[in-house]
Structure 1
Amino acid sequence: MTVSLQDKSVYNLIINCVDKQIPVPDFLNLYKEFYSEKFSTILESEESENAENNTIEIANTLSDDFVRLLNSKRSLVIAEYLNEILFVNYNSDLIKSFMPKLSTVHENKMLVHFFSKASLHFTTLDDKLLIDQLNKDLPDSIIPNLLTLELDPTDNELIITLMKLLQSIVSLESGSIVLSAQYNESSQDLLKKVSKINKLLYRKVCELFDSKLTFKDSKNIVKDARHEYISSPSITSPQFISSPLSMMKTPMSTSGPSAAKYKDMKLLRYYKNIWLNNKIIKWEPINSDFLARYASISNSIFQENGPSPQISDALLTDLIETSFTCFAQFVSNKQYHQPNANLNLLERQWIIFISKHLPLLVLKHSSSNPQVVSTALEKIDPKVIKAIKAYYSEKDDMRNRNEDLFEDYPSASLDIRHDFIKSLIMLGLQPPQFINIFLRDDQIVDPSTLPTTDSLFIQTPQGTQEMISNIPIFIKESLSSLELQTILNPITESNNSIHQVFLNFESVSPTKQKEFSDSILTTLSDAIESCDFSTITKLCALLSFNFSHSLTSILSFCSPSEFVKILMTFIDHMWSSAIITKKEESDDSDEASNISLSFSWALLLLLNLNKVYDISLVNVAIADGKMDLEKSFSISFISKLSDIPDEYVIEGDDPKNPESQVKSHKLIQAWLSDLFVNGSISDNLTQSTDAKKLATTVPFIFKQVLYAIEIDAVSDINNIVGGVEYFLQPFMLSGLIKICFWLEDYLLHIKFFDQDEKIINEVFKVLNTIFNPNTLNEDSQTFHSAVLRLNAVRLLKIFRQLKKEPQSNYGVYSSDSQENSALDSLINKMVSVLGFSPTYYVDSRLLSTEGGYSQQKPLGYDRFLIFNENPINKIMANQINSFWNLHSSTYYNLDYLKEVINIVTPYNFLVDVIQTLDYKLATYGVPAIRNKITSIESEHVFDYLFYFLVLFDCETQIAAARMIQLFEDEVDYDKFEGNDENVNSTNTNTSDPSATNVKIEDDFKQKTDDINDDDIDMLFGENETSTHAAEEEERVIDDVFAPKKFDEISALERDSFGIILHNMKKLHAVAYKNRDISKEEYERVCNYHDKYLHMLKACVF
């Protein structure tokens, strides 16, 4: 019989459900009811011979409606409804009818949503009966129709979602899936498309298809041997994956002297890699001891008793070769293993090290033999060169990048090898022709254009070149003539000499970069000592913009902690006392402006060092020993950067003092009255408030203004705008710092809580007043741009999100949303300040038009992104495998790994790594030696791990000595009693000092949900949940109030793995004494403790 669905069809049912916004889970019940009423009678009443025909006819009619729905250009929730019908309420007949018609769907957005929801369903599917039904339809109905879909080659999102759907359904089959040979070519075509978009997904699916898909009358899918080495190690597969950048022939025998020698040579490369990476990421000085320490790595790790290594040409050759290999490994990891990160500071540090510091080491330590460099460069593995060339080629053209890391192709781009050789030529270590002789396969460089001297030149206003002979005097004289607002001028308009040097800093020779860096630090220190506010202002301004990576280069030559220390001294102590004297001596308005700006610029530079370069102010203060952490304005201000309190107290006053509260209240009233009522600021008010107080006063006023707008308490927005404009005066600029960071949370509040359109427009009008003013004081222009840069990425993200209308529950995007001109101008402002000079941790695609983003990797506004296809547990599994395989010294680069450790916490990272390695070594052995389990080789796995842990913890030999002292404390753990303060928390994650103490179970096999983040309590205190015997209560209370000696070791190393291990041993000693754990478990922890201590003593720092 003919089935008619003209009156009541599934098409009408779904359209009505969309209009009424029926939730997806409820829809399936409605569909089942509809299906039962419409078709059950038909199917039951027919003869058995016609039942099959009717079932097919019903399925065809429904599937036709499904295609109509997918092509209807309506709500995306339709795709979710169909996913429920087809895959959740699985019907084999319906699948067989619908899948061939999928090729007639031409709405790509609907298909993307449909495939995504289906992938999510199959990824979480655990119903064995349903999986069995699905597997029966995979070879004939599902996979062939998915593989033969004609896709728009420019729609990367559709290609990726289709591949992820295939990945999810093929993964459900435990055995092999046999397909017709005609689909082999289709699968290869689809894989080729994916390889151009997402290499990580491509590699995973290649392995999956190779293991699961079999084509009749054809060979299995052939693996691309060129990509095999970059496959990620799997936590479930103990197969060794060799490193492409450090491969050498493995000896046939896995025992004996030759194998041991190979093993040591192989491990030595990994140890050198980690050592160099730690040296660079921690800004450790590349001084006269550098080469000697580098040469000692082998003796220290393998406990060799040979003579002390001598610095020689051979050692320099080894260092050059190793450095380029490490850099190639670094950029290779970044390309293929870290698509979810925007980390580029460590890459810049590597570039500076190779292009500037290495030539200086060659200049200082090599004999006059020019063959040292040529020998080193010739020894570099061709794979290393190709990795570097491929990476630079990708940077030059993201859209047309080469897909094969090791394919031979000419590169038109200059890379780090050219920079290295150019520096050698500047230092007279090589002739200009050397660059073309050695790099003859690359782009030809005209030797006559290369500088052959290390002298520093500037261009005079007359267009001639002038050589700088005395850099310290040059800096002082140039700064005195520098006008602050001209810093914003491009290089073609720059007439100031020192500004020119900063703008061209990358082209300055290594020797002059070092001399210039030392002079900058000395000049800034002298200016702070003498309270030369003008010099402080201009120097901090030039450094803050990091022109041509100048600040990064200067920090590589001078210790960042030195800059932090002198800036904190100036901000916390010297500025407040100096301004009193200066104001008494002079009433000059320019001097008054310099006084305010010096504080604002110094605070901004300090914030830059902390937020961008991750220099800890607390660590610097502790190491200095003279700074008061509790009274430090710098530490307090930066640690609460995004927090503006609801109650205002004048900076430096006691918030609990009633007189201070009254005084603060009157001050705020005076400011509000002058700004928004009187329209001018009285002299008494400006004289009673300085830049340090305004750094917290202005943000408080701004917060109250926005809150007043939000509750519609502002009658005339123009009065508000006029008052807010005063915030841009030079003496009030320090208040903008907190505003830029606090706004991030406030705008999120605006985004997620529907506000009246009038209120939102008024908020953006106020924001435009301070972020994108029509006119700006000359003295304010430069600081205004600099302060916006620090949090521009986060604000840009929210501004762009606010441009879109709120989405419905079904992901329906409104096409009628009108762009807010005020919001557009804010977005353009943020983009412009970010593109003004080099910025780190920023995806460069953010600075382009939104429609032109490359899809080579996900677009993100953060340093580190976590996606469904690459969750944190998978990231951890891959890193643990790299420790286990010993196949690469840094499967993830140290900057990436540092982010991972911060996310999972050092405690969880350490426990997970050790427990997993214990299991894998006991179960599989070491993959690098063909899975033969031997204690010696297993020990090398842990040696390598603990070498990483120790270098991660300690920067200097002094820090290591302090840790050794802590570890060798003369305490007999077997005599511990379980009811004393020896039972301490084991966690050392101190990213949030205010976190609550949580009791940790004695059994270390269980993980805690929350971990104690308090440094002092961790080492000396009690958890709030601890219990004591009644007779001890009074003694415990007395101990709390008794003065305790400050433990500098524990404070400085509060985030270290060493502290975690030390406390683990103490806790296990108590647990073992109380017979809560076995002797084997206690001895295992003791073994980890001893291994860490051994490595502490062996390492060269």
Structure 2
Amino acid sequence: MENENFYKLALRCADRQIASGDFLNFYKEFYNEKFSAKMENEDTPNESKVLEVSNLLASECIRLLSFEKSLILANYVVEMVFVNYNSDLVHAFLPQLYYITNSNMLIHFFAQSSAFFSKLSDKLVMDQLNKDLSTYVIPSILNVDVTTIGNDLVVAICKFLLLMMNFINGNVVLSSDRSRDNLNALLNRLSKVNKLLHKKVQQQADAKLIFKNAKNNVFPLESAVQEFVSSPSITSPQFEPSPISNAKAQASGGATVSGAKYQDIKLVRYYKNIWLNNKIINWGPIDSDFLSRYASIATSAFQGVTYSPQSTDSILQDLIETSFTCFAQFVNNKQYHQLNSNFNLLERQWMVFICKHLPLLILENGSGNSHTVPQALESIDDKVVKAIRTYYSEKDDMKGRNEDLFDDYPSNNLDIRHEFIKNLVSLGLQSPTLLNDYLREDQMIDTRTLLTTDDLIVTNSQGVQELVKDFKHFLTNSLDSLEPEVLINDSNDNADGLQQIFHNFENIPPTKQREISNILIDILQHALENLEFDRIAKICSVLSFNFSHSLTTILSFSSPTKICEMLIKFVDVSWDKFVEPRCKELVESEYDTMNFFLSFSCSILLLIVIWQTYDFSLVDVVLQSSESNTENSFVISYISKLPEIPDVFLLDPKNSLDQEMRTKSHQVVQNWLRDLFVNGSISDDLLQSVDLKQLAVLVPFIFKQVLLTLEVGAIEDVSNLVGGLEYFLQPFMLIGLVKIVYWLEQYLYSLKSENLDEGLLEKLLTLLNSIFNPQALNEDSKLFHSSLLRLNAVRLLRVLRQFRSQSQSNYGIYSTESSGHPKLELLIERLLSALNVSPTYNLDPRVITTENIYSQKQVGYGRFLILNENPINKIMTNQINSFWNLHSSTYYNLDYLKEVINLVSPRVFLQDVLATLEYKLDTYGVAGTRNKIAAVESEHVMDYLFYFLVLYDVRSQVDAVSLLQVMDGNSESPIVKEEMQMKTTEVAPKAEVSQDDDFDMLFGEPETNVTGVDKENQSTNVESKPTESKYNLTATLERHSFGLIIHEMKQECNEALSTGDISKDVCDKITKYHEKYVYLLKTCVF
């Protein structure tokens, strides 16, 4: 149906002689309405859906070009395929081009295409075109039967071909013999028609086109025919020559090395970098044996090398130097390699580690020598200091500076080094004078203002400062007397002690931060076990806001796993066993009733915040739980389907065929609708007809029905609806708003159109303001209400801002956002207010600014803006070259790199990296060496890669042992089978990763995406019967790990070898990879 609508749209535009640029706007609206919204609403990216849409549009383009009456249709197709460049559509359309028999239309199409490309200056389009030239564009152009076309078409084709070859950098390899033959025939024909053009095309073809099977191709090594055409460039990003073939060197940090070559020393530095990065991003415990594990990295990496023992102070010095080096690499990557991202959570984790955990390690493990830290700081490389200083200078000057990256700004700003020393001073480990002695080239600080003790002082209600000594007593008393709504008040007058602590959490000394964190988690655990609803609600509410990065810091002291385990047990187990059955007994007053409901709602809220903000897997927590399971977990079923509101409400969805239950469910809905919107009050009997878990689904179901009824025009007066919806703001019903804030996003997208009735928009905004921006709100509901608005506020802002009226597109020009309906602006302002209450991570800061700002770039609502700067193939190129060049860090930071790996899939990432490195090592050896080096030395490149893979997969020694048992066993890998048996979908909290505007424009990725995934591994959504293989918890927990992918590859190779489908050499290569991974599992320190 969509294809017919598109075809009619094009013909009607042609009949009215609509300009091609205007047609493109109509096409975009059509695409967004018919296809984009549907694909964005998918729980996971659906590549087959994108392919289906591309094929459909391509076939309609061919149909339009076969229409003989209007040449303007060719202009329309050029706009769709090339001006609005879409790689997937190009792939689908060009191979069908010569199905068109209308030569006049083809001539016009090539002429218009040539006119566009002759003036092309958009680097994004040129990069994507360059990638498609060898695989689709040029082979499709050369897929012509010269004997069936006229001279005019031959000339038009050759002009277009010449333009395409001009875009080639270097040369491209074409694998088809038919392309070579057709090119010769085309040139032969052209030589008789236009000799000047023939000469130009011939010269370009000889220089730029290489045919894989041609016998007379002779060219230098650097442009040699590569088996992997899409292999990254030989030139490495940030290339530095590596003196690997030279001799020996001294280890850093004072360690003496016997028999260690230069590459070993470099490898140790890389190992420490990757090890420390993984500890921080994965919330690794910074416990008593952290320092000893760090110190043993070198000895574990090189079993045959003897290292002289180091003192604890030497280890600490090396850790300090490594930490700042890693941080400098992090900010350098962020500044210059990751222009298409908005990540900043990992930066905060680095700051917590360096400024809080590192001083604690020095305090508890150092000898007390005051020279240890100054010596470590002085030994930090000047390049590291410069990178840190430049990064903070540019951060502070970002708003006012110009865009010249080569300007040399003097650094007068405080940075992470200042914070590190200030925390050392507060712990009494250093004199305040160190700050100005070491940072004498930076801003001087009045050392008299520095805290020289770790005392925690708060101001009481009488305005008198008090020293907090008993933290457990202080926290419990503050919690019990806390009025939650004051936490989000702008005024600091008479601020509660707990409020003072959380709003200033990042400035609290490390010792007190750790003590507060541990005690607060203990209080929460005791409250959950003893059903202290008031404390549960308050602690979860406070933590969910992450005031002054408090939640992030607390999670670094007490892992996310521990907190989530407690909360999931409370919601899934305790609530059903002990709370609901004793509801009347436990609730004795209206205050108890409020806390009863809020304790459940706030627990769910905090779980969502941790899952979404920190990309933390709740499924893994449940899988390892002895008291809960994925099939019966309310937490998993609820959170995995947050944006979904069912079309039919069922009290018991698991028994959907029970007719009696369905009838009862229908009656419950009718009763609620009657009381909410007719009677204007909710009876106690009605409230008791559903439990809280059912209410969490019933409220959004009612809200959905109200909006759908309003949309079809069945309701004129919304005043009664407003009164009913305001009941949703009562503490006992707030849980229902959680699903609403997620579902509303996709509903608004579906509603957005040029023809949206203003009256409908007015009514809709009235209803939304009644629940999201109410004029009056229950004091007990304020904190939770503000917190739940933050959950999906960013994505709601994106769609709401699209309802603003605009005179022209903001893309590529300087402009400001136009104003919208007053009620729309109130709604946007409320969401902005909620976001600005406390820190929000991985977000373009322009999203949460309230004023109109001029900006050349569009605001990015996602943390990873795919294709805004580089295509995915270029991103993969950079990272693979980083492995190949033996860099001391990954080219991209781990947060960014994880997104890339998830985007292309771990299997495709691994296969691409292995294939490319194999080719490079076989052909060129290790980068920077003049001659091919010995195989034993080239293995260091693979060592780099596999150390990264192992640490990416494994977080602890326990995980390593469990994974080793699976990989050392001979049983069939149960990954796919067990995932199907689980029937559990874990929705990763990275919907914003999905599509930025450029990705929407291209709606597809280069071939380095997930095209290489095995078909059998694509069927994980299919429900299968239980197999004979036993359930393996490790295999399920490590279901996305590189280790199990390598294990599966080995098993597949063994099977293929036994049937004669592959050679023994291929199987031996995979076996070698498997052995290398297993060896590192056994020897690495985690």
Provide TM-score, normalisation by structure 2: 0.76
State the SS of the aligned residue for 1:636: helix
Cα 1:278–1:405 change in 2 (3 A) is farther
Match of 2:321 in 1: 321
- Matches of 1:923 and 1:463 in 2, distance apart? 74
Cα 1:931–1:882 change in 2 (3 A) is farther
The one-letter amino acid paired with 1:553 is T
How many angstroms does 1:329 deviate by? 0.2
The one-letter amino acid paired with 1:589 is E
1:1048 maps onto 2:1033 in alignment: yes
The one-letter amino acid paired with 1:678 is N
Match of 1:863 in 2: 863
State the SS of the aligned residue for 1:493: coil
- Matches of 1:894 and 1:634 in 2, distance apart? 28
Bigger relative contact order (CA 8 A; separation at least 6) = 2
The answer to whether the 8 Å contact 2:356/2:509 transfers is: yes
Match of 1:466 in 2: 466
How many angstroms does 1:557 deviate by? 0.4
Out of 217, 220, 234, the position equivalent to 1:238 is 234
How many angstroms does 1:90 deviate by? 5.1
1:884 maps onto 2:884 in alignment: yes
- Matches of 2:724 and 2:935 in 1, distance apart? 74
Match of 1:566 in 2: 566
How many angstroms does 1:464 deviate by? 2.9
The answer to whether the 8 Å contact 1:989/1:1013 transfers is: no
Q: 1:850-891 CA distances to partner (integer Å, 9 max, x unpaired)?
A: 641555x65310121112651112211211111111124121
The one-letter amino acid paired with 2:742 is F
The answer to whether the 8 Å contact 2:573/2:628 transfers is: no
Cα 1:439–1:988 change in 2 (3 A) is farther
Match of 1:733 in 2: 734
Q: 1:423-444 CA distances to partner (integer Å, 9 max, x unpaired)?
A: 0000000111111111111111
How many angstroms does 1:731 deviate by? 0.5
Out of 88, 97, 103, the position equivalent to 2:113 is 88
Please show how residues 611-760 of structure 1 align to structure 2 within 5 Å: 611-650=612-651, 654-751=655-752, 754-760=755-761
Match of 2:246 in 1: 254
Q: 1:533-568 CA distances to partner (integer Å, 9 max, x unpaired)?
A: 111111111101000000000000001101001101
State the SS of the aligned residue for 2:458: strand
- Matches of 2:728 and 2:813 in 1, distance apart? 41
Match of 1:357 in 2: 357
Match of 1:905 in 2: 905
How many angstroms does 1:22 deviate by? 6.8
The answer to whether the 8 Å contact 1:427/1:453 transfers is: yes
Query: Which deviates the most, 362-371 or 757-766?
Result: 757-766
The answer to whether the 8 Å contact 1:987/1:1012 transfers is: no
Match of 1:490 in 2: 490
Cα 1:295–1:680 change in 2 (3 A) is same
- Matches of 1:275 and 1:341 in 2, distance apart? 23
How many angstroms does 1:368 deviate by? 1.4
The one-letter amino acid paired with 2:334 is K
Cα 1:426–1:913 change in 2 (3 A) is same
How many angstroms does 1:461 deviate by? 2.8
Q: 1:221-275 CA distances to partner (integer Å, 9 max, x unpaired)?
A: xxxxxxxxxxxxx9554235557xxx8x965953678996221111211111110
1:1065 maps onto 2:1050 in alignment: yes
Please show how residues 156-555 of structure 1 align to structure 2 within 5 Å: 171-172=167-168, 236-240=232-236, 242=238, 251=243, 253-254=245-246, 261-304=261-304, 306=306, 309-401=309-401, 409-490=409-490, 492-555=492-555
Please show how residues 1011-1022 of structure 1 align to structure 2 within 5 Å: 1012=1017
How many angstroms does 1:659 deviate by? 2.2
- Matches of 2:347 and 2:724 in 1, distance apart? 45
Please show how residues 1087-1098 of structure 1 align to structure 2 within 5 Å: 1087-1098=1072-1083
Please show how residues 1028-1047 of structure 1 align to structure 2 within 5 Å: 1040=1025, 1045-1047=1030-1032
The answer to whether the 8 Å contact 2:1049/2:1070 transfers is: yes
How many angstroms does 1:15 deviate by? 12
The answer to whether the 8 Å contact 2:975/2:1039 transfers is: no
The answer to whether the 8 Å contact 1:724/1:769 transfers is: yes
Q: Percent identity?
A: 48
Match of 1:1031 in 2: none
The one-letter amino acid paired with 1:1057 is F
For structure 2, the 5+ residue unaligned runs are 1-13, 26-60, 74-107, 143-154, 172-207, 209-229, 251-258, 987-1008
- Matches of 2:454 and 2:1015 in 1, distance apart? 56
The one-letter amino acid paired with 1:531 is L
- Matches of 2:432 and 2:160 in 1, distance apart? 68
Cα 1:1078–1:807 change in 2 (3 A) is farther
How many angstroms does 1:1007 deviate by? 2.5
State the SS of the aligned residue for 1:458: strand
Cα 1:171–1:991 change in 2 (3 A) is farther
How many angstroms does 1:389 deviate by? 1.2
- Report the number of matched residues: 897
How many angstroms does 1:967 deviate by? 1.3
The answer to whether the 8 Å contact 1:880/1:913 transfers is: yes
Provide TM-score, normalisation by structure 1: 0.75
- Matches of 1:838 and 1:806 in 2, distance apart? 34
- Matches of 1:809 and 1:502 in 2, distance apart? 40
State the SS of the aligned residue for 2:864: coil
Match of 1:1079 in 2: 1064
Cα 1:873–1:536 change in 2 (3 A) is same
- Matches of 2:811 and 2:952 in 1, distance apart? 46
- Matches of 1:340 and 1:533 in 2, distance apart? 44
The answer to whether the 8 Å contact 2:485/2:779 transfers is: yes
- Matches of 2:621 and 2:1071 in 1, distance apart? 32
Q: 1:885-940 CA distances to partner (integer Å, 9 max, x unpaired)?
A: 11241211000011111111111111111111111111221104346243123211
The answer to whether the 8 Å contact 2:338/2:892 transfers is: yes
Query: Which deviates the most, 1067-1076 or 404-413?
Result: 404-413
How many angstroms does 1:607 deviate by? 0.7
The one-letter amino acid paired with 2:1049 is M
How many angstroms does 1:1061 deviate by? 1.0
- Matches of 1:116 and 1:964 in 2, distance apart? 44
Cα 1:967–1:172 change in 2 (3 A) is closer
Cα 1:544–1:808 change in 2 (3 A) is closer
Q: Which has the larger radius of gyration?
A: 1
Match of 2:1012 in 1: 1007
- Matches of 1:580 and 1:983 in 2, distance apart? 40
Q: 1:706-750 CA distances to partner (integer Å, 9 max, x unpaired)?
A: 111122122422221111111111110000100011111111111
The answer to whether the 8 Å contact 1:907/1:988 transfers is: no
State the SS of the aligned residue for 1:624: coil
Match of 1:835 in 2: 836
For structure 1, the 5+ residue unaligned runs are 1-12, 35-82, 100-111, 138-167, 176-211, 213-233, 972-980, 996-1003, 1023-1039
The one-letter amino acid paired with 1:1072 is L
The answer to whether the 8 Å contact 1:983/1:1066 transfers is: no
State the SS of the aligned residue for 1:852: coil
- Matches of 1:381 and 1:130 in 2, distance apart? 59
- Matches of 2:575 and 2:242 in 1, distance apart? 64
Q: 1:365-399 CA distances to partner (integer Å, 9 max, x unpaired)?
A: 11111111000100111111111111111221213
State the SS of the aligned residue for 2:466: strand
